[in-house]
A and B are shown apart, each in its own frame.
Chain A
Amino acid sequence: MSKLFTGAEIVFKCLEDQSVEFIFGYPGGAVLPIYDELKNHSSIKHILVRHEQGAGHAAEGYARSSGKPGVVLVTSGPGATNVVTALTDAYMDSVPLVCISGQVPTHLIGTDAFQECDTTGITRPCTKHNWLVKDIKDLSKVMHEAFRVATTGRPGPVLVDIPKDIQFAKSNYSKPKIEKKLNGKAMNKFSHNEIDQLIKLISKAKKPVVYTGGGVINSGPKASDTLKEFVRLIGFPITSTLQGLGAFPGDDNQFIGMLGMHGTYEANNAMHDCDLLINVGARFDDRITGKIDEFSPKSKKVHIDIDPSSINKIIKVDLAIVGDVNEVLKSVIKRINKRKNGLKTSNKQNISKWWEQIEKWRSKNSLGFINSEETIKPQHAVQRLYELTKNQDTYITTEVGQHQMWAAQHYKFNKPNRWMTSGGLGTMGYGLPAAVGVQIAHPDKLVIDIAGEASVLMTMQEMSTAVQYNLPIKIFVLNNQYMGMVRQWQELLHEKNYSESYSEALPDFVKLAEAYGCKGIKVNKPDELDSKIKEMIDYNGPVIFDCQVDPNENCFPMIPSGKPHNQMILGPNDEKDNKITGKGKTLV
């Protein structure tokens, strides 16, 4: 008979077999046996957070920046409910997480025991799958299955709920089955015929655009290389969603910027006027499409996605290719290169007029803003941060709001996995703990959270985590004293009734930084900005950077609600050219 292990030992054996190096967690009564076992497994390091939501976001940052699944360990009841926000966030943005939660002993389940909650019930709609392990014999199988579900197909979070008596109970351990790659559901089912159809569309297109999303990032760094090869081969303009930034170099001439509600003028107009739209690993989110009826009305639409349920969910497409982005693009490239019918050159001629049009749009300089010598403009701050950090491999996380959009617009990403932001769920408080996770995965790299002062206060306690593990994360706070995006909407849509969007009593961020044992830097003059940013970068330790910016700045360009892509509001530069009059504003 083989050796028997306790449930807690089995959990760690599974983690070891899945090559897990870090767990983000917080102990509590119902997971104590697992925490007790931690000391016997030196290859696994536990990162103690200050709130379970922080554990979840840190694991997301870890996963998104490293491509490996993030592992979270929390206790029953409040531990599990606190992690729900992070699980939902990961579900929306397709981040692979494995969350292990403790549960009250099986005989107490359903009795309203201390720190009991229906964890699997609560997390059912925000995980790909979850399990309540009621029999120790199932534990190793369930744990391996959890990693498989989280990381295959369209990635996402899973949860394994383990009652305390199961953690003590003993059973055999079974190793994970070695499975063929790309197994299970929703894999590469595309045919040569579909690829040929796509190539036909590509060769006929006169006004094409490639629209990429987070799927390219999730497909791995190789997918980004393949995408680059594909886009350079066909010479098409390429735009990206918020999540897809970095898959294609942001400073490349073929890249026409982010699209969507706060996307560039050229990207949104190209989406509207194109005759061929190739969606690669994006999901036609409502922040992207604007008014559905008038979304890209003249185009043939192609959708490449690993998740069949993403296809035709919002926008009906003419050609759907279900498969891993990298695999699909590789076979497209292969087939294009095989046919030596001069497609490469003739096609680029076909679209030269289209490029002229795009250059015209581009000349609008829709990301432009009126800079000031008196106050720091937030866009300027992000631009300076970019200029001063672009020479090193920098990882950026963000919170949610105006600063997030400015970061997306003005910080240029040239590599995948360098940009971590909460896109789908829009979770304020994501960036700081995510930066913790990113720094854990990349200890020697520069990790900056571009933050807003309102968002960052939601998970500020994780600074304590950063200090504990000597993580030199930089919290770059664009402090405008408002919930900026809320204020902007109120200005444009609610007659400047700034209801509850101003924070009257903000902490002194420098003192706050010092209280946590890290460095605080404050700047409010444009001419000091560069030197202070350099000071932040050069400091070997965590920094809170309080960048006091113009509180009334709005994030432009912007597609107003219910409007198609070609009816954008441009910034104040354009306002002078009569683009939006007072009347136009009330119509927003």
Chain B
Amino acid sequence: MPNPKSAYSIPTKAGKSDTHIIVVWVDNEAGVLARVVGLFSGRGYNIESLAVAEIDAIKNISRITIVTTGTPQVIDQIKLQLKKLVPVHKVADFKREDKKVIFKEMALLKIVGNKKKINYCLKSCKLFNPVILDKSNKSVVIQITALRREIDKMSKKLKSQGLVSTSRTGAIAMTRGSEIFK
């Protein structure tokens, strides 16, 4: 029941939310990440994951990849508001389901346990390009690259098999084929 005593109008029904990946090219300068993140928090948009690093050291360009959910109207606003920021060069966005775009997350998994457990874990990770980064008698650190939900599943599955620590990046994205983001 809307509150009739408000000086503001009541909220209208929100549309259906979709998950989008938004890629932003920015000048790599002090405070630029705060500007982008502050825009999201200030306007009430949510950030599911965030990945950022410099990609062009000569031109000082960083690429920020943000996974967010919102109605089409909100996603449009996010893009338009981002484009208004002075250090932002361009903004691309696509839906998570988009077949033309690859997106990946990386995770480091530390397994502590006996050989049997470690081998079980390595086998389970097989589908996700496992790389053994460190190995000792009782432990192993495995790097995997996969989709977010796959990593979610893996860390759940391996909990009982000696997974003691997980570290993961946010999603990063790249178009398939010869096309690039516009």
Contacts of B86 in A (CB 8 A): 128-129, 149
Contacts of A579 in B (CB 8 A): none
B80 & A309 in contact (Cβ 8 Å cutoff): yes
B8 & A286 in contact (Cβ 8 Å cutoff): yes
**What separation, in Å, do the CA atoms of A397 and B45 have in the docked complex?**
36
Known: A124-B35, A149-B86, A308-B80. A291 touches B9 (CB 8 A): yes
**What separation, in Å, do the CA atoms of A120 and B34 have in the docked complex?**
11
A121 & B34 in contact (Cβ 8 Å cutoff): yes
B4 & A309 in contact (Cβ 8 Å cutoff): no
A308 & B83 in contact (Cβ 8 Å cutoff): yes
Contacts of A561 in B (CB 8 A): 4-10
Known: A124-B31, A124-B38, A125-B38. A494 touches B5 (CB 8 A): yes
A312 & B76 in contact (Cβ 8 Å cutoff): yes
**What separation, in Å, do the CA atoms of A562 and B9 have in the docked complex?**
4
Count of A-B contacts judged by CB separation below 8 Å? 64
B5 & A120 in contact (Cβ 8 Å cutoff): no
B81 & A309 in contact (Cβ 8 Å cutoff): yes
What 0/1 pattern do residues 1 to 41 of B give for CB contact below 8 A with A?
01011111110100000000000000000110011001000
What 0/1 pattern do residues 275 to 292 of A give for CB contact below 8 A with B?
000000000001001111
B42 & A186 in contact (Cβ 8 Å cutoff): no
Select from chain B the residue with minimum beta-carbon distance to A129.
B86
Contacts of B2 in A (CB 8 A): 562
**Least CB distance, B164 to chain A, in whole angstroms:** 36
B30 & A132 in contact (Cβ 8 Å cutoff): yes
A125 & B42 in contact (Cβ 8 Å cutoff): yes
A293 located at the interface, meaning its Cβ lies under 8 Å from any Cβ of chain B in the complex: yes
Q: Which of A283-318 contact B (CB under 8 A)?
A: 286, 289-293, 307-309, 311-313, 316
Cβ-defined partner of B34 (8 Å) among A124, A307, A311, A494:
A124
A587 located at the interface, meaning its Cβ lies under 8 Å from any Cβ of chain B in the complex: yes
Contacts of B8 in A (CB 8 A): 286, 561
Q: How many residues of B contact A (CB 8 A)?
A: 24
A588 & B73 in contact (Cβ 8 Å cutoff): no
**Least CB distance, B72 to chain A, in whole angstroms:** 9
B4 & A588 in contact (Cβ 8 Å cutoff): yes
Cβ-defined partner of A313 (8 Å) among B5, B7, B34, B77:
B77
Contacts of B31 in A (CB 8 A): 120-121, 124, 132
**Least CB distance, B62 to chain A, in whole angstroms:** 17
B99 located at the interface, meaning its Cβ lies under 8 Å from any Cβ of chain A in the complex: no
Residue among B8, B9, B83, B85 with the most chain A CB within 10 A? B9
**Least CB distance, A493 to chain B, in whole angstroms:** 5
**Least CB distance, B129 to chain A, in whole angstroms:** 40
**Least CB distance, A540 to chain B, in whole angstroms:** 42
**Least CB distance, B43 to chain A, in whole angstroms:** 9
B84 located at the interface, meaning its Cβ lies under 8 Å from any Cβ of chain A in the complex: yes
A290 & B38 in contact (Cβ 8 Å cutoff): no
**What separation, in Å, do the CA atoms of A124 and B29 have in the docked complex?**
14
**What separation, in Å, do the CA atoms of A156 and B85 have in the docked complex?**
13
A309 & B7 in contact (Cβ 8 Å cutoff): no
User: For chain A, which range describes its interface: under 10, 10 to 19, 20 to 34, or 35 or more residues?
Assistant: 20 to 34
**Least CB distance, A560 to chain B, in whole angstroms:** 8
What 0/1 pattern do residues 121 to 133 of A give for CB contact below 8 A with B?
1001100110010
Contacts of B80 in A (CB 8 A): 308-309, 311
Q: Which of A232-288 contact B (CB under 8 A)?
A: 286
**What separation, in Å, do the CA atoms of A494 and B81 have in the docked complex?**
37
A489 located at the interface, meaning its Cβ lies under 8 Å from any Cβ of chain B in the complex: yes
Q: Which of B24-76 contact A (CB under 8 A)?
A: 30-31, 34-35, 38, 42, 73, 76
B12 & A292 in contact (Cβ 8 Å cutoff): yes
Contacts of B84 in A (CB 8 A): 128, 185-186, 307, 309
Known: A124-B35, A561-B4, A587-B4. A292 touches B77 (CB 8 A): no
Q: Which of A104-155 contact B (CB under 8 A)?
A: 120-121, 124-125, 128-129, 132, 134, 149
**Least CB distance, B83 to chain A, in whole angstroms:** 7
Q: Which of B86-105 contact A (CB under 8 A)?
A: 86
**What separation, in Å, do the CA atoms of A562 and B84 have in the docked complex?**
31
**What separation, in Å, do the CA atoms of A307 and B31 have in the docked complex?**
24
**What separation, in Å, do the CA atoms of A494 and B5 have in the docked complex?**
7
**Least CB distance, B77 to chain A, in whole angstroms:** 6
Q: Which of A183-203 contact B (CB under 8 A)?
A: 185-186
Contacts of B85 in A (CB 8 A): 129
**What separation, in Å, do the CA atoms of A149 and B87 have in the docked complex?**
12
Q: Which of A506-523 contact B (CB under 8 A)?
A: none
**What separation, in Å, do the CA atoms of A308 and B31 have in the docked complex?**
24
**What separation, in Å, do the CA atoms of A316 and B77 have in the docked complex?**
12
Cβ-defined partner of B77 (8 Å) among A121, A309, A562, A588:
A309
Select from chain B the residue with minimum beta-carbon distance to A149.
B86
What 0/1 pattern do residues 218 to 241 of A give for CB contact below 8 A with B?
000000000000000000000000
Residues of A within 8 A of B (CB): 120-121, 124-125, 128-129, 132, 134, 149, 185-186, 286, 289-293, 307-309, 311-313, 316, 489, 493-494, 561-562, 587-588
Given contacts A185-B84, A587-B4, 16 further A-B contacts (CB under 8 A): A121-B31, A124-B31, A124-B35, A134-B30, A186-B83, A286-B8, A289-B9, A307-B84, A309-B77, A309-B83, A313-B73, A316-B73, A493-B4, A494-B5, A561-B4, A562-B2
15 contacts between A and B (CB under 8 A): A124-B34, A124-B38, A129-B86, A132-B30, A185-B84, A309-B83, A309-B84, A311-B80, A312-B73, A489-B7, A493-B5, A493-B7, A561-B8, A561-B9, A588-B4
